[in-house]
A and B are shown apart, each in its own frame.
Chain A
Amino acid sequence: MTRLSIERLEKRFDKVAAIRGVDLEVEEGELVSLLGPSGCGKTTTLRCVAGFEAPTAGEIRFDGEPVTRLPPEKRDIGMVFQNYALFPHMSVRENLAFGLEMRKVSPNDVATRLADVMSMVQLSGYDERFPRQLSGGQQQRVALARALVVEPRLLLLDEPLANLDAKLRDEMRFFIRSLQRRVGITTLYVTHDQAEAMVMSDRIVVMFDGLIHQVGDARTIYDHPATRQVASFIGSSNFFTGTVTGRDGALIRLDTSFGTVACGSGHEVTTGETATAMVRPETLELSPAGAEGGFSGTVGERHFLGNLTDYRVTMADGSVLQVQGSANAAFAPGEVVSVSLPAGRAWLVGEASA
Chain B
Amino acid sequence: MNDRVTSGRLALGCAIALVYIFLLLPIVIVVAASFNAGQGLKFPPDGFSLRWYVAFFTSEPFMDSLRLSLAVAVVATVASGVIGTTAALYYVRHAGRWREVFRIYVLAPLLLPEILTAIALLFFYYQIGLGTRTVVGLYIGHIVVCIPFVFLQVTAALYNLPPSTEEAARSLGAAPGVVFRRITLPLIKPGVINGALFAFIISFDNVSISLLLKGIGTTTLPMQVFDYLRWGFDPTTAAASTVSILMTLGAVVLVDRLVGLRTVRF
Of the listed stretches B58-66, B100-108, B170-178, chain A binds B170-178
- Kindly list chain B residues whose C-beta atoms are within 8 Å of the C-beta of A83: 162, 164
Shortest 7 CB-CB distances between A and B: which pairs? A102-B173, A99-B172, A85-B164, A85-B168, A79-B171, A72-B170, A81-B164
Residues of B within 8 A of A207 (CB): none
A79–B173 CA distance with the chains assembled, in angstroms: 11
Q: Which chain A residues border B164 with CB–CB below 8 Å?
A: 81-83, 85
Determine if B186 is an interface residue (Cβ-Cβ < 8 Å).
yes
Docked pose: A98 CA to B182 CA in angstroms: 10
Residues of chain A with a CB closer than 8 A to B171's CB = 50, 72-73, 75, 77-79, 147, 156
B169 at the binding interface (Cβ < 8 Å): yes
Task: Name A residues whose Cβ lies closer than 8 Å to a Cβ of B.
Answer: 50-52, 71-73, 75-79, 81-83, 85-89, 98-99, 102-103, 130-132, 143, 146-147, 150, 156
Q: Let me know if B170 and A73 touch, CB within 8 A.
A: yes
What 0/1 pattern do residues 132 to 174 of B give for CB contact below 8 A with A?
0000000000000000000000000000001011011111111
Q: How far is the CA of A212 from the CA of B10 in the complex (A)?
A: 66
In the complex, what residue of chain B is closest to A88 when comparing beta carbons? Answer: B266
10 A-B residue pairs with Cβ-Cβ distance under 8 Å, sorted by A, are: A50-B167, A73-B171, A85-B165, A87-B169, A89-B187, A102-B172, A103-B173, A146-B172, A150-B173, A156-B171
| A79-B168 CB under 8 A given contacts A87-B183, A99-B173 | yes
A75 to B170, CA, bound (A): 10
CB distance from B163 to the nearest CB of A (A): 9
B positions within 8 Å CB-CB of A: 162, 164-165, 167-175, 178, 182-183, 186-187, 266
User: Whole-angstrom distance from the CB of B10 to the nearest CB of chain A?
Assistant: 38
Residues of A within 8 A of B170 (CB): 51-52, 71-73
Taking CB as reference atom, which chain B residue is nearest A133? B266
Contacts of A72 in B (CB 8 A): 167, 170-171
Known: A72-B167, A75-B171, A102-B172. 13 other contacts (CB 8 A): A52-B167, A72-B170, A73-B173, A73-B174, A83-B164, A86-B165, A89-B187, A98-B172, A99-B172, A99-B173, A103-B173, A147-B172, A156-B171
Q: With the chains together, A73 CA to B183 CA distance in Å? A: 15
* B167 and A81 contact, CB distance less than 8 A: yes
